[in-house]
Amino acid sequence: MATDLDLFLYPNENGFIGKIALNTTGNVAIDKTLLTESKISTIVILDRSGSMGNSVPRFVNEILPGIFKSLGYNKNDTIILITFDSTPNLYKIPANQLSKFSIKCQGQTFMATGISTLTKFIRNDLPKDCHSLRLLTISDGEVQDPANVQTEAAQLASLIKNEFTINSQAVRLFTSSSQPDTKAVSSLLQLNNVSNVNLLDLQTSLTNIEIIATIASLFSNDSLNKHAILKSDETILKSTPWQTTMNNTLSLFPGENLFWLSKIPTGNLIVGETNVKIHLKEGLTVDTYENLLKTKIEYYINQLKILKIVNTNESKNEIKDMMSYFQNMESSLLTNQDDVKILLNDSSLRARLQYLKTSIIRKKKSFVMRMSQIANDDKVSQLNSAQQADYLRAVDNTSKNARGLARRAVTQGLDFNEILRKEVRIMAEHIHELQDINDNDHLVSFFSQDTTLGGIRTVCQLVTDNMLDDIDANDILRMINIVGVGCSGPIGEFPDPMTWRVNEIYVGCYVSLSDVLTAFMQSQGRSLQAPAINKDITNVIPIIEDERIAKFLQKYAPSLLEYTCSIGMRRLLADVPMTAGYTICAGVWKLIEDLNINKSEIHLKTFNEVVKTYEIVVGNYFQHIMPYIKQQQNNQLSYYIANNGTTNMISPFIKLYRENDTAKLEQIPKILRALYTYEIWQAIRRQYKNRDDSDQIAQKMLDQLIGLDLNKYKTSLQPSFEVEPSLNEIQFHDQIHTDELYLDELLKTVYYVDYITLLSKYISAVINNNIDSMKNIPTIDEKFICEELQINYDLKSFKFYNVFQALVYTSKASRVDSDNEVMKMIDLVDEQAAKKVVQDYIRKRFENQYATDLALKGRAERTELATILVQSILQATDHNQVVQFMREGLTRGKIQLAIANSSSLGFIELKNKLLDLNENVPRRLDIIKIFLLGRDYKQNDEPVWNNGNVLFTPDLRQFENIFNTLGFDGEWAKIKEEYMKRNLHVYRDGFNRHGHGNTKPSYWAYGYMTLQMYKDTISPEEFQEYCKIHHDCCGVSSFSSLLT
């Protein structure tokens, strides 16, 4: 055996990176122990569409033979030529016969079928021992099936990318001034896994020699024809770290090879006949990691560019997997750097600024940063073909020109980085406006030991130090240091920030969200905790003591506070208005709850500061509510505040106390009752609103709440055919049977509603600068709450009526009349009025149930009476009795029923039994005659039923069969003749769109559903006459063969 090969293993996040150098010396004996001859399949995918013109035979007959000769192909080596135009074709041509192959341009540019042909060839016809592919794609125009191209290419990539060694290259051929399709040819470039891809732009004006040399250079050093195979006893090898499957073999090529292993090999590793010796190396640093990957960096960057151009879901997922690996790896290595650790151990703003400077220097050197800029550049997919080709070939996509190329192609969408950079620049221009502010007595973060003003000045320093363009929005948000009180709260999407709530406020714990983010980075993923109590701080309620600072931020950097609070609420940047306002609002609401049981100085001070900050930040956002606060006309209805809840009414409360208008302040109890109604509705609605069967769930909840049992308390009906009492004589059940346990369960979901009554008290104290008066506000109890609400009955009953309203008036439309600015529900200030509403509802439900039962009884009575009537007709003993029953019907009690026409109850039963010879019907033929003709043929042809008209029926044969079976053929002939005279549909004046009218009736007017049925019923002579009249309608022409 030859000398062992050395495999160096470097520990990484999920296993090891392996490096092995394969040095071929040119010594045949040594090469033989390492390298293996491998089969290569060479495939040319050629655009054959009409726009290619003479370039098609030129490439096939002249250029391709020259390329393969230059690459050393044997004359009998088979070349797979796949052409695409309107239809695809696949040719297997020996290299020495290409020059004689007859081919010309044709059709349109449909590339997808060409790719599907390639897929079928690889799957079905490629030799099983061939694992190396050379692909060359040539096209000159924009494809006409771009979506299908991407779909087919994605399927092909998933099939072969990790199973074959592939050198895929492409040529954009310029046969005219139009741009070849970059995205289409790039869809095949993504298959390349051995070298950098090259998207060549070639003019047809170049000589054959120039084109041959250029294309041949793309394949000349790929070593696909002779490479080594690394074999392992274990399935632990993969060529890329994001590859999902492991292998026990791996292709190696001359030079340095990198690959990934899931663990240290414990079995044999060999290359050809040579053993592999393992050397375990120390952990990687940023520098050694980048040095290790230096031979692969350009390849990965090149792959990213291709995948961005392709822009399919599959390519996006591959980009995501690539970047996830590299970013996690670099992040892990960076946090272990000694200089970074030193910087991060100092939590001051000065240290953060220095850390940013160091990070910027590192990022500029980092290949992962270059890759991230490509991966995150979503504008690339919107470039045109020429721009995409330039983007693909750009040497360094981190340059301003490359970024500007994509940016110019897109004119819409938010760029959070640019928004915040712009605001920081504007702040820096006006920072002198804050120079007179002394922040010595401002809140100081326990973590950064700095104030909000200090954070603003530090961020502005980024402009002075010329660092702003090199940092992103997250860096800025880690620096701004808007100090407030720490808290915990849910992290979620919160498209409506009004729904966000605080779980716990850590009063006295002053910190900034910038600190929370920085601490998370310092600790490698652990939350910053509040001192002493050791509870996680997830968000911060901003407190800005000096109005000048708040106005400064609003004027020059309105997005800074919003984006900061968005990170706190969502952990992502989102441009959702009022995120800051509702964050502070949630703080006010939670502090009201805390103050109920703890009126310490620090609680009172914090509440005072948060309310004043809220007033400044929110400004006049809720001014539109103020006009509603007045003496409203209908005092019986709930107070109209435009369907706003507690969070939206905090600002109006502040304005009410600022205005100090007695008439308006008198409306506060009504407002509080309206807020109770709103908050309970919202809490109850959350239990069913996102369900498909929400209406049914709400109904069941309501029935359980009020103990509604429609079976137990329903009003009984009288026996069949007995008269029911009038509605005003019936006392329907209207008693409330409250399920107290269920009510308690529902009220637990809205436990916070009682704190509404404290809002006005505490806000009044803040606005009047009377903080000490807050100490005298009592802890809420039923007596206090009822007094604030101005209700004269017990609180639980008040809440019960609110829950009742929430389950009856489930939608906003059922609760609010926005056009007239009134509510549709009563104010629950009066218990008797509230009770009456519930009882009226219960009574109405039982009344409706009674009406339903009554309708069912009536239907059953009519059905029963119809059956009796049918039997009476069928069993009649003489003609007059038949006529009487058919004309007058029967009466039982108040129910009168007659079979008046074919739509009447009993008609079908009567008809079916008349046609059923098994039924005993004494006067069957007599009844049928009246049934068909509608008149009393024995009494002057007087009408009996069906208004004296004949029965309109599509098929008389079933009646004819009865007469024939019973031996009354002659009688049937008379009835039929009479029937045909009378059975005629009466048309409106003139003719209809089919050309039929009273002077030219159709077969349908005679009572027949189809022409065939009409023909079968009448004589041949009659049908022939009909066909003459209706020769151009009724489908008569299809019956022409019947007339001969």
pLDDT in tens, 41-54: 999 999 999 888 89
What average pLDDT does this structure show over 605-628? Answer: 95
Q: How many Cα neighbours within 13 Å face the side chain of 692? A: 0
Choose between 406 and 1029: higher pLDDT.
1029
- Quick one: pLDDT band at residue 1000, thresholds 50, 70, 90? confident
Instruction: Note the pLDDT tens digit of each residue in 977-995.
Output: 888 887 665 566 677 877 7
511 lies in some domain: yes
Share of the chain above pLDDT 70, in %: 87
Pairing of strands 78-84, 39-47: parallel
Q: Are 557 and 434 in contact (CB under 8 A)?
A: no
Residues 6+ away with beta carbon under 8 Å from 803: 680, 684, 705, 743, 746, 747
- The C-alpha atoms of residue 253 and residue 223 are separated, in whole angstroms, by 7
Beta carbons of 873 and 881 less than 8 angstroms apart? no
Residue 406: HSE in the Cβ half-sphere, 13 Å Cα cutoff:
24
Beta strands in 38-189 (DSSP E): 39-47, 78-84, 88-94, 130-139, 165-174
pLDDT at 856 over 60: yes
Q: Which of 980, 1007, 1033 is the C-terminal boundary of a domain?
A: 980
CATH of the domain at 187: 3.40.50.410
Neighbours of 413 (CB within 10 A): 7
Q: What is the DSSP pairing of strand 165-174 with strand 226-232?
A: unpaired
**Which CATH number goes with the domain that contains 269?**
2.60.40
Give the integer Cα–Cα distance in Å for 215 and 202. Answer: 10
Place of tokens 């779980």: 503
| CA pair distance 774, 764, nearest whole angstrom | 9
Tell me, yes or no, whether 657 and 592 share the same domain. no
Question: Is 424 found in the same domain as 298?
Answer: no
Banded model confidence at residue 393, pLDDT cuts 50, 70, 90: very low
Q: Summarize pLDDT for 650-701 with one digit per residue, the tens.
A: 999 999 999 999 999 999 999 999 999 999 999 999 988 888 888 999 999 9
- Do 814 and 938 share a domain, yes or no? no
Lowest mean pLDDT, pick from 15-24, 350-359, 764-773: 350-359
Residue 58 shares a structural domain with residue 206: yes
Burial tier of 163 (Cβ tally within 10 Å: 0-12, 13-18, 19+) = exposed
Q: What is the pLDDT of residues 831-852, one digit of tens each?
A: 999 999 999 999 999 999 999 9
Q: Which SS3 state, helix, strand or coil, does residue 202 take?
A: strand
Residue 320: its pLDDT value, please? 78
Residue type, 538: T
Digit-coded pLDDT (tens) for 242-288: 887 888 888 887 778 889 899 999 988 998 888 899 999 888 777 77
Q: Which residues contact 627 (CB under 8 A, 6 or more apart)?
A: none
Q: How confident is the model at residue 361 (pLDDT cuts 50, 70, 90)?
A: low
Contacts of 772 (CB under 8 A, 6+ apart): none
Is there a single domain that holds both residue 21 and residue 127?
no
Domain boundary (204, 224, 244) is at 224
Distances (CA, A) of 271 to 17, 29, 195, 265, 284: 18, 14, 22, 14, 26
Structure tokens at 686: 């959350």
Measure CA 582 to chain center.
Answer: 25
Q: How confident is the model at residue 447 (pLDDT cuts 50, 70, 90)?
A: very high
Residues 892 and 749 in one domain: no
**Which of 578, 575, 576 has the alpha carbon at shortest distance from 586?**
578
Contact 80, 124 (CB under 8 A): no
> Tokens 């290299």 sit at which residue?
95
State which residues form the domain around 935. Answer: 866-980
- Please tell me whether residues 360 and 483 are part of one structural domain: no
Q: Is the pLDDT of residue 389 over 50?
A: no
503 — pLDDT class (breaks 50, 70, 90): very high
Q: What is the overall mean pLDDT for the chain?
A: 85
In a domain, 825, yes or no: yes
- The structural domain count of the chain equals 7
Answer yes or no: is 857 within a domain. no
* Residue 402 within any structural domain of the chain: no
pLDDT of residue 1039: 65
Asked whether residue 636 is assigned to any structural domain, the reply reads no
With tokens 């620049």, the residue in question is 425
pLDDT at 1: 44
More confident residue, 339 or 96: 96
486 and 594 share one domain: yes
Pair (207, 181) in one structural domain: yes
Nearest to 794 by CA among 804, 805, 806, 781: 781
Give the burial class of 929: count Cβ atoms within 10 A of its Cβ; 0-12 exposed, 13-18 middle, 19 or more buried: buried
In a domain, residue 311? The reply is yes
**450-475 residue pLDDT tens:** 999 999 999 999 999 888 888 888 88
As beta bridge partners, residue 261 has 16, 237
Q: Stretch 621-625: mean pLDDT, rounded?
A: 95
Is the same domain home to 918 and 991?
Answer: no
Q: Is 486 helix (H, G, I), strand (E, B) or coil?
A: strand
The pLDDT, as a whole number, for residue 914 is 94
In a domain, 634, yes or no: no
Mean pLDDT of 601-609: 96
* Tokens of residue 609, six digits: 């500061």
pLDDT at 405: 32
- Nearest alpha carbon to residue 137 among 158, 156, 163: 156
pLDDT at residue 748 tops 60? yes
Burial of 970 (0-12, 13-18, 19+ CB in 10 A): exposed
* 117-131, 177-191, 518-532, 950-964: range with lowest mean pLDDT: 177-191
Centre a 10 Å sphere on the Cβ of residue 902 and count the other Cβ atoms it contains.
14
Contact by Cβ (8 Å): 7, 279: yes
d(CA 152, CA 118): 10
Place of tokens 């084109």: 211
Residue 226 pLDDT class (50, 70, 90 cuts): confident
Spatial strand order in the sheet of 504-512: 504-512, 483-488, 539-542
Residue 666 sits at φ, ψ, to 5 deg, of -70, -15
Please identify, among 588, 621, 654, the residue that sits at the C-terminal boundary of a domain. 621
Are 489 and 587 found together in one domain?
yes
- On whether the CB atoms of residues 756 and 679 are closer than 8 A, the answer is yes
Q: Tell me, yes or no, whether 591 and 682 share the same domain.
A: no
Q: What is the mean pLDDT of the segment spanning 582-604?
A: 96
Nearest 5°: the CA angle 923, 924, 927 is 85
Residue 398 pLDDT > 80: no
Question: Look-up: residue for tokens 């030799």?
Answer: 127
Task: Determine, yes or no, domain membership for 167.
Answer: yes
**Tokens representing 598?**
């703890």
Helix (H) or strand (E) holding 362: helix 349-365
Q: Is the pLDDT of residue 384 over 50?
A: no
Say whether pLDDT at 351 is over 80: no
Q: What is the pLDDT of residue 345?
A: 65
Q: Give the C-alpha distances (Å, rounded to integers) separating 562 from 549, 568, 579.
A: 15, 10, 6
